[in-house]
Amino acid sequence: MSRVWNFSAGPAVLPEEVLRQAAAEMLDWHGSGMGVMEMSHRGKEFTAIAAQAEADLRELLAVPADYRILFMQGGAIAENAIIPMNLIGDKRIADYVVTGSWSQKSQKEARKYAEVNIAATSEASGFTTVPPMTDWKLSAEPAYVFTCTNETIGGVEYPFAPDLAQIGRGEVPVVADMSSHLLSRAIDVSKYGLIFGGAQKNIGPAGLTIVIVREDLLGRAMAHCPSAFDYQTVADNGSMYNTPPTYAIYVAGLVFQWLKRQGGVAAIEAQNIAKAKLLYDFLDGSGFYENRVDPACRSRMNVPFFLKDGALDEAFLAESKAAGLVQLKGHKSVGGMRASIYNAMPPAGVQALVDFMRDFAARKA
Task: Provide the annotated binding site for L-glutamate.
Answer: 42
**Residue 289, beta-bridge partner list:** 307
Say whether 230 is catalytic.
Answer: no
Picking from 167, 166, 157, 103, the residue whose alpha carbon sits closest to that of residue 130 is: 157
Annotated binding site: 42, 102, 152, 177, 200, 242-243
Which of 56, 136, 201, 329 is the catalytic position? 201
CA torsion 13-53-88-104 (nearest 10°) is -10
Active site residue 284: no
Cα dihedral across residues 112, 210, 29, 46: positive or negative: negative
Catalytic member of 29, 56, 95, 102: 102
CA nearest neighbour of 177 among 103, 118, 255, 268: 103
Active site residue 201: yes
Q: Under DSSP, is residue 315 helix (H, G, I), strand (E, B) or coil? A: helix
List, as residue ranges, the binding site for pyridoxal 5'-phosphate: 102, 152, 177, 200, 242-243
Neighbours of 284 (CB within 10 A): 12
- Nearest CA to 217 among 50, 103, 53, 91? 91
| DSSP E strands, the chain | 5-6, 67-72, 93-98, 115-121, 145-148, 150-151, 156-157, 174-177, 194-198, 209-214, 289-290, 302-307, 325-326, 337-340
Which residues in 36-57 are b (16+ Cβ under 10 Å) and which e?
beebebeeebbeebbeebbebb
Question: Which of the following is catalytic: 56, 95, 177, 230?
Answer: 177
What are the residue numbers of the active site? 102, 177, 201
